[in-house]
Chain A
Amino acid sequence: MGKKIRNIACIIIFSAFILTLGAACILREPVEILVSERRKAQQLPEASVESVMDKSFFDGFEKYLTDQFPMRDGFRTINAAIRMKLLRQTDNSKVYLADGHISEFQSVLSENSVKNAAAKFNSIFEKYIKGKNARVYYSVVPDKNYYLAEKNGFPSIDYGRMLEIYHSEIKNMEYIDIFDCLGADDYYTTDSHWKQENLGKVIDRLSKKMGFKSKPFSDYTAQKISDFEGVYAPRLALGKMSDEIIALKSPVTDGAKVFNLETNKTMQGVYDMSKLSGYDKYEIYLSGAAAFLTIENPLAEEKRELVVFRDSFGSSLVPLMLDGYSKITVVDIRYISPQILGEYVDFTDCDVLFIYNTLILNQSNILK
């Protein structure tokens, strides 16, 4: 009798599970965006004889079901919990948790990539900057694995070797070391980026080396903007984790005019609050990814220009350099080819700063 009941219980549980979730998959209104994963959700593919015969319909349907599955975030959390809590795996697809921070480790140093990045910057110097009386600097932003990975027993790249190669390849520029200005807690716990409000030492170091005027951080108004769930939290998927995102505001940052070459639009102030409703709230800094921006500072006390070659770390850094310059040109050569820079930038008598983080140097094929 007992075994009969057990068998019936097995049948009921199995049938209820596949039938209920199966019905929910069909009846559920499809979502357009997977908010926690910052991407569009797969929609039901269009069926046609062609799409069925070439399998694209079935492949699309498989993706549709995966993306639109009921309680997707909850199941992803269960998956992470099984891997990391039950099986004691120390990372979830290279994403790990250490010292309260989530990060993604890198274990392979691509020496060729570092050389390639240096070669690109050298060629920009040779083509546009050489002989223009410009003061040229370069700096490297450590990714937070530098402060977390090796210390906590995770695979790590040889940062010393990376810098050694980079320094030996870069020509005609002065290095500004900021590795000692930062620590793990100067980065968001859920994201790869640094916190703007913790960049005091970095700005001090840059301003001293480059000779521009900077404002004490106590003179800024710290505006807490929103809870910020960085890029790593949903990848680790161990439940809700978030950071506080803060914008340091002043009359200079509010009065600046930011012109975006791609959109041909000018924005008042360096913080774009419309991005709060987007996937990535870090994009409030200079509107996020942009190929080419010019920032005019009407309150500047002297005419002095800076050209910054940067990645996304530069978005939160550049607004804090604005006190020292009347104009800052911000270039991201992941999105604009250096071949056409001559049409838009005059480097004469400028300060020039190449500042890239170690993740980009190790994967420089994304630079144009």
Chain B
Amino acid sequence: MLFSSLTFLFAFLPIVMAVYYLLPSKGKNLWLLAASLFFYFYGEPKYLVLMLAVITVSYIFGLLTEKAEGKKRLILLWASVLLNLSALIYFKYTDFFISVTNSVFNTEIGLLGIALPIGISFFTFQSISYNIDVYRKDVPAQKNPINLALYVSLFPQLVAGPIVRYTDIERDLRSRTHTIDGFAYGIRRFAVGLGKKVLLANSFGSFCEIFRETDEKSTLFFWIYAVAYSLQVYFDFSGYSDMAIGLGSMFGFKFPENFRHPYISKSVTEFWRRWHISLGSWFRDYVYIPMGGNRVKTPRFFFNILTVWFLTGFWHGADWTFIIWGLYFAALLLIEKSIPKKIKEKAPSAISHIYLIFAVLIGFVIFNANGVEGIANDFKGMFTSAYPLCTEATLYYLRSYAVLFIIGIIGATPAVKIAAEKLDSTKAGEKICNLAQPAVILALLVAVTAYLIDGSYNPFLYFRF
């Protein structure tokens, strides 16, 4: 089920919310678990068993690891990690490995055509992090199976993150407070996320679809497409994270932030501290630092970076494009790290920013390309004279989508947030905000409903990851 669907907004959410607040505290987790499992069942009926298996593995191995001593702890940890990873590898990567085997050894092994369970990359990573945290004695194992099942399957962050660590919500799982302020904050975040996804990301998605379908491509069109896709993926994913954080807040949970206006960054290093923060910190804490991080000799450091970014790319999808995308960012990070700090600090801010935007646009063109051949074709369109510089169609669509691009570019910066906070900090401004905030929420809900009723383009890009 998509958050940006009429079923979620007008059937699932009102029922879950109403019953949740009518129930006494003791019943709330059980109700949320039932709702979360139904949420998953609605999207993937046959894979509910897989979800329950992942929960069971995490629960049992968590308890066993906590009780075990010495090497046994490590063996139990590896067993739980391997079980989770084997589910991820089987469902997500089997066909990729078969394809590679066929290419390398000239074999003809048939592809299995396994459907990817929604959100598997997210909930398996959450389970792994739980078992590692228990192994490290960062947290005690969860004794209550309902609470652990709820941690793994909690519907707001189940299918597209943020990757919530067990340590982040352990206390909330035991007991949490529900406040008017928290609920209202959740509504605001949810409405903004919904608007980002439905009004902006979907519209940029339509633009990208038009670009892909048209026969009248031009160099300019390729570049505008790169901008459009970069905005689509940002509003799509950050919108989903906003909705998840908002829903969490409505139910009394505090989820970590996942995006902090990444496009205002001035380096790739900074960009990745602002983009999909929960994934970046997961790989940092569970892969990069255990490998030695940057406190190792230079060749090993290079190896660590390449490994982490290879895995980051591969996590996004079982395709060479994602691996190339990951390694592309690894290369940029290594180049940035090899430039002396003094030189980086002296670089004009505008130049640094232009470099970052350019690097990210190229990155997302790789990310969205249709295979390695697609990357070559898109680069050909962007960097050679294979296509005309501009066509009538390019100008038409640029004109037609100009306002959307302006809104999108401004919306990707913190400008609106800063302006709203500044306004709210004055007495007169506060009065305006008191009226404007509920009005904006209503306007967003009406506009989103209108788009959902009429629109057909409504995929979530991160559902496939």
Interface residues of A (CB under 8 A from B): 2-15, 17-19, 21-22, 25-26, 52-55, 58, 61-62, 65-66, 69, 72, 75-76, 78-80, 82, 86-91, 107-108, 153-155, 237
Contact = CB atoms under 8 A, between A and B. Distances in A.
B442 A13 contact: yes
A52 B45 contact: yes
Report the 10 A-B pairs with minimum CB-CB distance, sorted nearest first: A7-B184, A79-B450, A78-B450, A22-B10, A9-B438, A79-B454, A75-B450, A6-B434, A90-B400, A22-B14
Contacts of A6: 184, 433-434, 437-438
A62 B45 contact: no
Contacts of A69: 6, 449, 453
21 contacts: A3-B430, A7-B180, A9-B434, A11-B184, A15-B17, A17-B442, A17-B445, A22-B10, A22-B11, A66-B6, A75-B449, A75-B453, A75-B454, A76-B450, A86-B403, A88-B403, A89-B400, A89-B404, A107-B214, A154-B396, A155-B393
Give the size range of B's interface with the partner.
Answer: 35 or more
Interface in B384-399: 392-393, 396, 399
Interface centre among B14, B188, B431 (most CB of A within 10 A): B14
A105 to B, nearest CB: 9
Interface of B: 1, 5-7, 9-11, 13-15, 17-18, 42, 45-46, 180-181, 183-185, 187-188, 191, 199, 203, 214-216, 392-393, 396, 399-404, 407, 430-431, 433-434, 437-438, 441-442, 445-447, 449-455
Contacts of B431: 2
Contacts of A82: 199, 447, 450-451
Given A4-B180, A58-B1, A79-B454, 11 more contacts: A3-B430, A6-B437, A10-B188, A14-B445, A15-B14, A25-B11, A58-B7, A62-B6, A89-B403, A90-B399, A108-B214
Nearest to B206: A93
B441 to A, nearest CB: 6
Contacts of A78: 446-447, 450
Contacts of A237: 454
Contacts of A107: 214, 216, 393
A18 B13 contact: yes
A62 B18 contact: no
A76 B453 contact: yes
B112 to A, nearest CB: 19
B5 to A, nearest CB: 6
B183 A11 contact: yes
Contact of B14 (A12, A19, A52, A155): A19
Contacts of A7: 180-181, 183-185
Contacts of A18: 9-10, 13-14, 445
Nearest to A74: B450
A154 B11 CA distance: 41
B403 A87 contact: yes
A79 B7 contact: no
A4 to B, nearest CB: 7
Nearest to A82: B447
A79 B451 contact: yes
A78 B447 CA distance: 7
A247 to B, nearest CB: 34
A142 to B, nearest CB: 19
B396 A153 contact: yes
A87 B447 CA distance: 12
A328 B450 CA distance: 48
Contact of B430 (A2, A58, A87): A2
Contacts of B9: 18, 22
Interface centre among A26, A54, A88 (most CB of B within 10 A): A88
Contacts of B399: 90, 153
Nearest to B21: A15
Given A3-B434, A65-B11, A154-B396, A108 B454 contact: no
B235 to A, nearest CB: 14
A78 B403 CA distance: 18
Nearest to B430: A2
B11 A8 contact: no
B14 A11 contact: no
A354 B282 CA distance: 68
Nearest to A61: B7
B190 to A, nearest CB: 8
Contacts of B183: 7, 11
Contact of B453 (A15, A54, A66, A154): A66
Nearest to B45: A53
Contacts of B447: 78-79, 82
Contacts of B1: 58
B244 to A, nearest CB: 17
Nearest to A25: B10
Contacts of B15: 22
Contacts of B404: 87, 89
A65 B10 contact: yes
A7 B434 CA distance: 8
B441 A14 contact: yes
Given A25-B10, A87-B403, A80 B454 contact: yes
A164 to B, nearest CB: 18
B396 A90 contact: yes
Contacts of B455: 79
A10 B402 CA distance: 32
A10 B453 contact: no
Nearest to B456: A93
A72 B455 CA distance: 12
Nearest to A78: B450
Interface centre among B10, B11, B403 (most CB of A within 10 A): B10
Nearest to B213: A108
Interface centre among A10, A90, A107 (most CB of B within 10 A): A10
Given A11-B187, A19-B18, A107-B216, A76 B437 contact: no
B267 to A, nearest CB: 33
Contacts of A153: 396, 399
A106 to B, nearest CB: 12
Nearest to A24: B10
